[in-house]
Amino acid sequence: MPDRRAFEAATDIAARSGAPAHDIALVLGSGWAAAADELGSPSFETSLDSIPHFTAPAVTGQVSRLRSLEVGGRRVLVFLGRTHLYEGQGIDAVTHAVRTAAACGVRSIILTNAAGSLRTDWTPGTAVLISDHLNLTGESPLTGPQFVSLTDAYSPRLRAAVRHHFPATPEGVYAQLRGPMYETPAEIRMLRTLGADLVGMSTALETITARAVGLEVLGISLVTNFAAGITGEALDHAEVLAAGQASAGRLGRMLTEILSTL
């Protein structure tokens, strides 16, 4: 019963934050935590696992905080950290933040992540707008006859608004795999054939959920590494966090601008 759980979480957030409703939600994945501080001081902050039905994260370097703050006149609900499918807590745990955001009244959600790049021209530190996804997890967050359209799942309106302010921002197709292992070079060649530009372990399932509950979605990937076999170097979780640190100021200013103009 995800909807009851989301309602309980939203009721708790409204009571403790003093904000009866929020306008926009922002999910900050690994690599994006440092950018959060650029948004300003929150009027309310707590540990995510103090909110009903949230659980602590499994990944080192992944923080787990909830913030409420005002950016450019918009009341923003910020999730620092997310639950991944590979943690094994089930798909409802993965999508609880999105359902909670919807229950808090938001109409739009910005989903960010760190990703591997399949394109040699997108080097670590590049921010890429997600134009579409490949859900290769073998899972769906939906059950029953919910025939949700995923045409334009990543809002053309929001993407155009971002590209109006940041014209150089590239767009690409994000493939979500379950993980937690990175891909083999053969799998990356397969993904390239399938049309992927970026690869990661989040976001697509959250986008499906967001569309099912009627939210507009903006997806942004921070490239933190080349996917396996693209450059021949081995992948390392530390480089993900380092790329995030290095880009924090720029990403924070980008998010502030986006939140103020959406």
Among 2, 200, 219, 252, binds ligand 8IG (CB under 6 A): 200
Residue nearest to ligand 8IG (CB): 116
Specify the residue, 53 or 178, whose C-beta has the smaller distance to ligand 8IG. 178
User: What phi and psi values does residue 257 have, to the nearest 5 degrees?
Assistant: -65, -45
Which residues have C-beta within 8 Å of that of residue 5, sequence separation ≥ 6? 52, 53, 92, 96, 99
Question: CB of residue 187 vs ligand 8IG: minimum separation in angstroms?
Answer: 9
Among 240, 254, 255, 262, binds ligand 8IG (CB under 6 A): 240
Looking at 40-48, 108-116, 140-148, 153-161, which segment touches ligand 8IG (CB under 6 A)?
108-116
Q: With binding defined as CB under 6 A, does residue 219 bind ligand 8IG?
A: no
Q: Which long-range contacts (CB under 8 A, 24 or more apart) does 7-15 make?
A: 7/103, 8/52, 8/53, 9/51, 9/52, 9/53, 9/54, 9/96, 9/100, 9/103, 10/100, 10/103, 10/104, 10/105, 12/51, 12/52, 13/51, 13/66, 13/68, 13/77, 13/100, 13/104, 14/104
Specify the residue, 104 or 241, whose C-beta has the smaller distance to ligand 8IG. 241
Specify the residue, 102 or 129, whose C-beta has the smaller distance to ligand 8IG. 129
Question: Would you tell me which residues interact with ligand 8IG (CB under 6 A)?
Answer: 114-116, 177, 179, 182-183, 199-201, 224-225, 227, 235, 240
